[in-house]
Amino acid sequence: MAHHQLDLVRADRERWLKLYYFIRAGFSVAWVGAAFAVAPSSPVMGGALLVLYPAWDAAANFVDAFRSGGLAQNRTQALNVVVSLATTVAVLVALQMSMNRVLGIFGAWAILSGLLQLGTAIRRWRNFGAQWAMVLSGAQSALAGGFFIVQATMPAVPSIANVAGYAAVGALYFLVSAVWLTVSAWRQRAGHDRQVPLG
């Protein structure tokens, strides 16, 4: 009975994870679209999008941790919530100074959140498949963060397009993870159906 209950909990969390990855991919695609379509002609909108991005990440990690056993069981995500909220405030302040400072903050955030995402993916790998894309995403995020920090020290003034490219790659990783989990679940069900005797 206990084993059956654990299977139900695992199945519920796997369904949530698929939905979560699809939602994260969809948001990132929409954000990138807005960054290229609206932000260039509206600095206010561009600033709002830059503040929204880490704020959304904090909210998404909080909900995911809550749906996956709580913040106490998902400490890497709990830390990610704190880091992303601090980044949201820092970006809001830095927008009053320069885009170079904003990009530098995004760089530090990409490194920290990437490493925390990497930790979350490794921890989840034991229970769910398809975490290799999240591992790659976390590693790539940390590398991109270092590149952002270097760019921020250059005399050229960066724009939201610098962050949009990073967000687009993140969207791809989330989409790959969602599709991979969906296909894995379908293959498991197909294999189970073949094993069940007819009649």
pLDDT in tens, 16-75: 888 888 999 999 999 999 999 987 778 888 999 999 999 999 999 999 888 888 888 888
Residues 6+ apart with CB under 8 A from 9: none
How many percent of the chain have pLDDT more than 70?
85
Query: Are 95 and 51 a contacting pair, CB within 8 Å?
Result: yes
Q: Which of 70, 72, 74, 152 is nearest to 111 (CA)?
A: 152
Q: What is the pLDDT of residue 198?
A: 44
Of the given ranges (71-75, 81-85, 170-174, 188-192), which has the lowest mean pLDDT? 188-192
Q: What is the pLDDT of residue 1?
A: 47
Q: Averaged over 137-145, what is the pLDDT? A: 91
Q: Which amino acid is at 25?
A: A
Residue 20 Cα to chain centre, angstroms: 9
Q: Say if residue 42 is exposed, middle or buried (CB neighbours under 10 Å; 0-12, 13-18, 19+).
A: exposed
Q: What is the pLDDT of residue 10?
A: 64
Q: Which of 81, 76, 70 is nearest to 13 (CA)?
A: 70
Query: Are 46 and 102 a contacting pair, CB within 8 Å?
Result: no
Residues 6+ apart with CB under 8 A from 174: 21, 22, 24, 25, 28, 133, 137
Q: What is the pLDDT of residue 153?
A: 92
Q: Considering the entire predicted model, what is its pTM? A: 0.83
Q: What is the pLDDT of residue 128?
A: 66
Q: What is the pLDDT of residue 129?
A: 60
Say yes or no to pLDDT of 185 above 90.
no
Q: What average pLDDT does the chain have?
A: 85
Q: What is the pLDDT of residue 199?
A: 44
Between 40 and 190, name the one with better pLDDT: 40
Q: Averaged over 152-162, what is the pLDDT? A: 89
